[in-house]
Structure 1
């Protein structure tokens, strides 16, 4: 995956230039590395992910990069975590969350994904690159599978609750329905001619199919 080197340097004090101030801002440094890696994948694909370019983009030397991400798998995991954080809907706290029906929760989630697809397509572009690479890279496959499993379980929980409340159709298979929704959004990023209005109407129609009309 890393085109410029496949081995990691000896981790001694000369290679790692991390000061006490740097340690205090370690999360910021990690974020800078993740953003640099994310940008490279978005612009050049996974094949263009080079450690020296990541380090340069983050404004640090390679030794410091390896201090924060000692393996390529950990760096890819950081990129996937970054994507998941942006895709996930922050749930309302307290009574507001309790008052939302499963239909409203699902609508909020799908509307958020739709806006992300429209406003920040690079998020899905990077995810698409990683999905394609996962067919040949078992480590990336396992990272993405965990993210997919978590996403699918979230959708299943919402659907099951909606079915139990007789808001969604009783004949829905929650697992298959969740899989269909996930597949739609993964595939939507490949629809180059799909306009904003078409995307929103398609999602609205999908939601309509789920409802119990009795």
Structure 2
């Protein structure tokens, strides 16, 4: 059967999805243009037509993955419910114990960003936008009287630092072995940190009505 002819935008999207998959499987250093081409059954020349170097392909693949993550975050934070429920939902989705995929990809990206300026800007932009989105919903919760938080930006930074650190632990060590963090324990720490940052009783139910702080 002949391949369906794709538009430039569709082909680029297909190549980026394949590149993300290959980076997750092989790692940034080991992945080659040929791996991406082989995954789709196309020529190396086609990949190079759209992305002239491996470095540009990798940076674009991470940017593509970042936009996907941010789009999902936007859906979670845009729901018609309390700020507390939206915040908990987003944090649990993003946490390494939640349904969010791609932690191996982002750990690869952080490591590669130490050497690649273009990739470093992609990871910085994702980090900035994620923190800004969390800070915004925290500000909404404070304004609505759902909880207390004197510095939403600092809280967003501390929460993401905890989540990123736990992701490295769980992805690298798999929650097994002496001193390793279990998934259950990690989720407990995330819930406790969120409650502490917002001045909530740690017994506040995650799915129940938000507790107002007076």
**TM-score normalised to the size of structure 2?**
0.75
Superposition deviation, residue 205 in structure 1: 0.8
Q: Deviations over 1:146-186 (max 9, x none)?
A: 11111111011111111222223243x21111111211221
Q: Which residue of 1 aligns with 2:32?
A: 50
CA RMSD of aligned residues (A): 2.8
Residue in 2 that maps onto 1:108: 89
Q: Aligned partners of 1:21, 1:43: CA distance in 2, in Å? A: 26
Q: Is 1:89 aligned to 2:70, yes or no?
A: no
Name structure 2 gaps, 5 residues minimum. 176-180, 200-212
| Residues 101 and 118 of structure 1, relative CA distance in 2, 3 Å threshold | closer
Match of 2:46 in 1: 64
Q: Tell me how far apart the structure 1 counterparts of residues 112 and 76 of structure 2 sit (CA, whole Å).
A: 35
Tell me, in whole angstroms, the C-alpha distance in 1 between the residues paired with 2:163 and 2:5: 39
Q: Residues 106 and 158 of structure 1 are in contact (CA less than 8 Å); yes or no, is this contact kept in structure 2?
A: yes
Contact 1:40–1:48 (Cα < 8 Å) also in 2 = no
The answer to whether 1:34 aligns with 2:21 is: no
Tell me the CA shift for residue 69 of structure 1.
Answer: 2.7
Query: How far off its partner does 1:118 sit?
Result: 5.0
Classify the secondary structure of the residue corresponding to 1:189.
helix
Q: Distance in 1 between matches of 2:103 and 2:76?
A: 25
Match of 1:162 among 125, 141, 149: 141
Distance 1:20 1:36 in 2: 16
C-alpha contact 1:160 1:174 (8 A) present in aligned 2: yes
Instruction: Give the ranges of 4+ consecutive aligned residues of structure 1 lying more than 6 Å apart after TM superposition.
Output: none
Aligned to 2:208: none
